[in-house]
């Protein structure tokens, strides 16, 4: 059991009252309902980060804008088209900005994400997980019928056959990309002749239209070291490119060759892809920052860390540590990092609790203080929130809904 002295060391009253006191008057009336009402009428004038409930997802708009522009410029300069991945943000607002800067469409992981983007009027949605099961096949065919720019993949003649049958019975025509193995055994038809035969089957199907090929080298995206990543991506994509050649020689249409990730955006220009599926570049996370960049081997800093989880210190009873109100459900992880406080380490604690630790001599965190954390994995962190608060400095300037999550009706 901890000593009384160490228990009480933390409880030196006064500092918190001083911290909370002055602002409390200004925003005493800013109850949650009022904040919600302001957001609904898009009146953000008096809304600052301090007013928000925690844990909350916060986007630094300046860094985000820089990230968007940087990737758009890269795409323009290299001629490698960008079809950014939606799973990172699940936000129509973010997608609109990406398309506004020249992206040719959007890449999605689920039929729900695809429906969300397409029904918002966004074109060129490319769903990269083949439909399997009646629910997904029916929805993919229905979406193809509503939106002729929607693309779906197959990696199996069985699915090609089922989609053809469903499209025939729905009077639809589906535009199909053949998914070719590129290192991850979770999906992709074997490259070379098997993939060629699948492409031929698609091309010969009355209600399917062959559009091209894809291959996702997921192993390359997080390989540490730019040269190592380059080698991995090159190796993984060799079979895809061989298949592209085979298809072209056979007279099949190959309008797109899609692949790549934020980790390989400046690598796959060499690898014969026509378009990139990058997603994480818009926000970045601690996982990506550690893989190292081309110009900075230690930190991958081509894109800035724009997204944080805002938390509050909810208990402070032991020296050199405090408890925050972000836990497993906020997807707190020991690899998260505290913004502006590199001396802090993060520990899991439970559903709604996390612990931050520091060493003697570091600045103490106080009860009620707010701490922003850089999350480790964007896909998952964004997935558990309903919205992103967009900030310029301390000021909230926008709120974007996150949709199409793991909720069953949204699949």
- Contacting a copy of itself (CB under 8 A), which of 190, 335, 345, 395? 190
Q: Does 298 bind a copy of itself (CB under 8 A)?
A: no
- Contacting a copy of itself (CB under 8 A), which of 69, 76, 146, 193? 193
Whether 142 and 152 have beta carbons less than 8 Å apart is answered as no
**Which helix (H) or strand (E) segment is 357 a member of?**
strand 354-357
Q: Considering only residues 102-161, where is the footprint of a copy of itself by CB under 8 A?
A: 109-110, 129-130, 132-136, 138-139, 142, 155-159, 161
Q: Considering only residues 332-371, where is the footprint of a copy of itself by CB under 8 A?
A: 349-353, 355, 367-368, 370
Q: Which is nearer to a copy of itself, 56 or 67 (CB)?
A: 56
Q: List all residues 6 or more positions away from 298 whose beta carbon is below 8 Å from its beta carbon.
A: 292
Q: Does 297 bind a copy of itself (CB under 8 A)?
A: no
Show the CA angle centred on residue 218, arms to residues 195 and 56, nearest 5°: 135
- Contacting a copy of itself (CB under 8 A), which of 63, 218, 219, 290? 218
- Contacting a copy of itself (CB under 8 A), which of 258, 274, 312, 376? 312
Q: Cα separation of 37 and 347, whole Å? A: 35
Q: Does 271 bind a copy of itself (CB under 8 A)?
A: no
Contact string (CB under 8 A) for a copy of itself, positions 11-30, x = contact: x-x--xx--x--xx--xx--
Q: Which is nearer to a copy of itself, 75 or 262 (CB)?
A: 262
Q: Cα separation of 155 and 106, whole Å? A: 20
CA distances to 55, 302, 352 from 373, in Å: 10, 20, 15
Q: b vs e for 252-283, b when ≥16 Cβ sit within 10 Å of the residue's Cβ? A: bebebbbbbbbbbbbbbbebbbbbbbbbbbbb
Q: Does 386 bind a copy of itself (CB under 8 A)?
A: yes
User: What phi and psi, each to the nearest 5 degrees, are found at residue 76?
Assistant: -65, -45
Q: Does 31 bind a copy of itself (CB under 8 A)?
A: yes
- Contacting a copy of itself (CB under 8 A), which of 60, 147, 275, 325? 325
Whether 71 and 275 have beta carbons less than 8 Å apart is answered as no
User: C-beta of 78: minimal distance to a copy of itself in Å?
Assistant: 26
Q: Does 272 bind a copy of itself (CB under 8 A)?
A: no
Q: Cα separation of 319 and 321, whole Å? A: 6
Q: Which is nearer to a copy of itself, 72 or 215 (CB)?
A: 215
End-to-end CA distance of the chain: 48
Q: Does 48 bind a copy of itself (CB under 8 A)?
A: no
Q: Does 37 bind a copy of itself (CB under 8 A)?
A: no
Q: Does 207 bind a copy of itself (CB under 8 A)?
A: no
């Amino acid at each position: 059991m901890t000593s009384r002295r160490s228990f009480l060391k933390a409880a030196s009253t006064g500092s918190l009252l001083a911290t909370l006191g002055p602002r409390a008057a200004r925003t005493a009336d800013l109850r949650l309902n009022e904040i919600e009402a302001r957001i609904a009428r898009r009146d953000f004038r008096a809304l600052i980060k301090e007013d928000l409930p925690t844990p909350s997802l916060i986007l630094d708009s300046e860094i985000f804008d820089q990230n968007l522009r940087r990737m758009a410029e890269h795409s323009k300069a290299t001629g490698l088209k960008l079809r950014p991945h939606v799973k990172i943000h699940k936000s129509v607002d973010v997608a609109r900005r990406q398309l506004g800067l020249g992206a040719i469409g959007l890449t999605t992981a689920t039929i729900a994400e695809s429906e969300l983007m397409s029904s918002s009027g966004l074109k060129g949605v490319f769903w990269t997980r083949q439909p399997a099961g009646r629910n997904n096949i029916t929805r993919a065919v229905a979406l193809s019928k509503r939106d002729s720019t929607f693309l779906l993949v197959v990696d199996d003649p069985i699915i090609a056959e089922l989609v053809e049958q469903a499209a025939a019975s729905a009077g639809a025509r589906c535009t199909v990309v053949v998914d070719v193995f590129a290192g991850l055994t979770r999906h992709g038809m074997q490259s070379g002749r098997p993939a060629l035969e699948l492409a031929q089957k698609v091309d010969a199907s009355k209600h399917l239209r062959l559009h091209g090929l894809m291959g996702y080298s997921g192993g390359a995206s997080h390989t540490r070291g730019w040269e190592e990543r380059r080698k991995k991506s090159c190796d993984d994509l060799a079979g895809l490119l061989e298949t592209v050649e085979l298809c072209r020689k056979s007279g099949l249409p190959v309008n797109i060759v899609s692949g790549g990730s934020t980790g390989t955006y400046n690598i796959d220009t060499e690898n014969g892809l026509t378009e990139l599926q990058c997603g994480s570049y818009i926000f970045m996370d601690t996982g990506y920052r550690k893989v190292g960049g081309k110009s900075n081997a230690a930190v991958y800093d081509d894109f800035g860390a724009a997204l944080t989880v805002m938390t509050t210190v909810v208990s402070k009873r032991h020296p050199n540590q405090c408890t925050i109100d972000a836990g497993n459900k906020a997807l707190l992880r020991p690899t998260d990092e505290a913004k502006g406080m590199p001396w802090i380490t993060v520990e899991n604690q439970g559903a709604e609790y996390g612990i931050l630790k520091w060493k003697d001599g570091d600045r103490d965190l106080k009860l009620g203080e707010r701490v922003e954390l850089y999350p480790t994995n964007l896909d998952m962190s964004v997935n558990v929130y309903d919205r992103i608060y967009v900030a310029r400095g301390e000021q909230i300037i926008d709120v974007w809904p996150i949709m199409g999550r793991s909720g069953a009706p949204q699949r």
